């Protein structure tokens, strides 16, 4: 179940997903639950943005919108990938800052 949730993430690329799955093998239950919660919230947020954006953009596929969103935020994603801290990225906190 946790692996499926990670694999459904919009913002993680394949290498990040593999890294996170490996990291969760040795993590405690609280950390695993927080990662699952964060990815689920990220997916809800991204899907809501994509649906709303699609409402205002006729004839654009969700996958094209996803790619545009990822492209625009690629620098943030790369910075997340570089982080070596155990604290997982908090998308809610990041959105409050921006």
Decide: residue 94, CB within 10 A, 0-12 exposed, 13-18 middle, 19+ buried.
Answer: exposed
Span 45-57, pLDDT tens digits = 888 887 877 777 6
pLDDT band at 11 (very low <50, low <70, confident <90, very high): confident
pLDDT band at 86 (very low <50, low <70, confident <90, very high): very low
* Mean pLDDT across 6-13: 85
pLDDT band at 85 (very low <50, low <70, confident <90, very high): low
pTM of the model: 0.53
* pLDDT above 50 for 93: yes
What is the DSSP annotation of 32-77?
HHHHHHHHHHHHHHHHHHHHHHHHHSTT--HHHHHHHHHHHTHHHH
């Amino acid at each position: 179940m946790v692996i499926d949730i990670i694999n459904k993430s919009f913002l993680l690329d394949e290498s990040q997903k593999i890294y996170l799955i490996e990291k969760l093998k040795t993590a405690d239950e609280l950390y695993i639950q927080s990662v699952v919660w964060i990815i689920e919230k990220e997916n809800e947020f991204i899907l809501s943005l994509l649906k709303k954006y699609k409402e205002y953009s006729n004839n654009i596929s969700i996958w094209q919108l996803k790619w545009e969103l990822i492209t625009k935020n690629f620098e943030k994603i790369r910075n997340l990938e570089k982080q070596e801290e155990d604290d997982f990225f908090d998308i809610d906190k990041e959105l409050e800052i921006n």
